[in-house]
A and B are shown apart, each in its own frame.
Chain A
Amino acid sequence: MSSAMIERIVNAVFETLYMVILSGFIGTVLGVAMGVALYITRRGNFLERPLFNRVLSIIVNIGRSVPFIILALAIVPFTQLLVGTFIGNTAAVVPLTLAAIPFVARLVEGALLEVPDGLIEAAQAMGATPQQIIFRVLLPEAAAGIITAITVTFISLIGYSAMAGGIGAGGLGAVAINYGYNRYDTGVMLITVIIMIVMVQGIQTLGDRLVRRAQHR
């Protein structure tokens, strides 16, 4: 393998990490916020707003039902508006983030639903404000589930970022498609696939370790 190719692959690794980490980070922050909003506004919960909840829920469902590649193409004008271009890895962060938010939101909502109602009741009996309930009870108690949700999201983002490589985002996906697939370079294909497997394994291992630390048994 030529040194130019090695350099190309190394750059691609950094591009992929850049896209995944940035979109994963923003997606997590906004997704957790949206997941909390979904949870607390549910019927019977402490800030119940049935109409708001319905609307938010529908938006999240739409976000989750559009296939990533269609989403990325559909929002090109929006991406262009936001970052000034729709090519390159910074541009790819926009659809990746938009795909991550509803994904995280639903998983976080599910993790919050696992928190026993009794804990919220106990906090209310102590005179907790809604904000205190969220930050001192709900989020810490659901930590393990939320970390699992974030882990799954980052792993999905590695896959999505590779797809984005097919439409101008760069990264490992672009290298695999341009060299491994279009130019029949089996070696390059193999290396990019192995690198992605290692990334996925690494994220999963890290996630598992953090979950165990959050569990306290």
Chain B
Amino acid sequence: MIQLDNVTRIFGQGTAAVRALDDVSLHVPAGSITGVIGTSGAGKSTLIRCVNLLERPTSGCVSVDGTDLTSLAERDLRRARHDIGMIFQHFNLLNSRTVRGNIALPLELMGVTRSDIQARIDPLLELTGLSGRADAWPATLSGGQKQRVAIARALASRPKLLLCDEATSALDPQTTASILTLLRDINDQLGLTILLITHEMEVVRNICDRVALLSEGRIIEHAATGEFFTRPASTEGRSFLNDYLELPPSRSLQQRLLSEPAEDRHPVVRLTFHDDSAARVLASNLARRFDVDLAILQSRIEEVRGRTLGLMIAEIIGPASRTRQVLEHLHTLELDVEILGHVQRHD
């Protein structure tokens, strides 16, 4: 549905030039929900604005549904934009129009007749859960309701593609969840392709089929969501995941943790598994092979798109010579190991 080829966008000139997008190529399959994630300033907004040419790439090619938008004349570009809906972080509703008037706007711009416009609005209100609010003014609506109006407005022209620029970033977690559910439903029911950008892993996890990680204007990772959450390929991907799935040591453990190893101390490790079958047998394997015990102090299991992700904090109980071997062995396994510290032996 979307094909970006070697898209570069440079702001400013000379020494002040900023490469907001640096040779980005991205394919968004029709019918999918694709997320672009990245830290602030990574170029996410620039990327999504390049898709409907609100931002013109300095170089590169943008095609949507088989049409190369970069080669279109203004007039044809405007027509092409009727097939691309867009919603924004701050909703961008017209305060001078009611809910109904806002939804009617894109249709008026396309020259749809008044009676056809009215006929199209009610189903949209129903779809977005706004029945009964048709004549309300935007200023009287909650953030979630405003975003619903914006979604209804974006869908009015029956686009094939919906662009979402941080559409839930101004909303509380509950409202975010309800808007994401709505986007999922729209994707299911209307077969709409959705490209959304966000800095929240939670959003990606909830609705994205695929995810691209943008860093300093470059796409450094692009994978299916389950894959990305369980085996991020890049350091930045892993750091996003760790921030999201954090399992911090409890306060009482933190107080007992010592930084230096010693003969009478046990190491405490944080393990991240990408496959819970490995996790289940790990303790017994280690016991058998190294004659140590694994005391699980804290753990957390997450499921993302049919893939399991487990985190645990464990104390390796045994003589120092053997626990050292265990640590070496752990590093050879398919899991992330982080040594948090050492605790004093009790016996």
Contacts and interface: CB of A to CB of B under 8 A. Distances in A.
B95 A141 contact: yes
Contacts of B137: 216-217
A153 to B, nearest CB: 22
A126 interface: yes
Interface residues of B, number: 27
Given A116-B90, A140-B96, 14 more contacts: A119-B92, A121-B54, A122-B88, A122-B92, A125-B86, A125-B163, A126-B105, A127-B78, A127-B109, A128-B109, A129-B109, A136-B109, A141-B94, A217-B137
Given A118-B90, A121-B54, A125-B81, A216 B139 contact: yes
B95 A125 contact: no
A203 interface: no
A135 to B, nearest CB: 11
Contacts of A141: 94-96
B96 A116 contact: no
Contacts of A129: 78, 109
A143 interface: yes
Interface in A97-125: 116, 118-119, 121-125
Contacts of A124: 54, 81
B29 interface: no
B110 A127 contact: yes
A127 B77 CA distance: 8
Contacts of B27: none
A132 B94 CA distance: 14
B157 A116 contact: no
Given A125-B54, A127-B109, A217 B92 contact: no
Question: Which range holds the interface residue count of chain A?
Answer: 20 to 34
A160 B328 CA distance: 91
24 contacts: A118-B88, A119-B94, A121-B54, A121-B92, A123-B109, A124-B81, A125-B52, A125-B54, A125-B84, A125-B86, A126-B109, A126-B157, A127-B81, A127-B106, A127-B109, A128-B109, A129-B78, A129-B109, A132-B109, A140-B97, A141-B95, A141-B96, A214-B96, A216-B96
Interface string B95-121: 111000000011011100000000000
B259 interface: no
B106 A126 contact: yes
B13 to A, nearest CB: 15
B158 to A, nearest CB: 13
A114 to B, nearest CB: 11
Nearest to A142: B96
A123 B97 CA distance: 14
Contact of B95 (A127, A136, A216): A216
B74 to A, nearest CB: 9
B139 A217 contact: yes
Contact of B105 (A118, A121, A136): A136
Contacts of B139: 216-217
Contacts of B88: 118, 121-122
A157 B88 CA distance: 43
A216 B95 CA distance: 7
A137 B81 contact: no
B131 interface: no
A191 to B, nearest CB: 42
A214 B95 CA distance: 10
Contacts of A128: 78, 109
A119 B97 CA distance: 12
Contacts of A119: 92, 94
A115 to B, nearest CB: 10
A123 B92 CA distance: 9
Q: Kindly name the residue among B52, B79, B96, B163 whose own CB sees the greatest number of chain A CB atoms within 10 A.
A: B96
Contacts of A214: 96
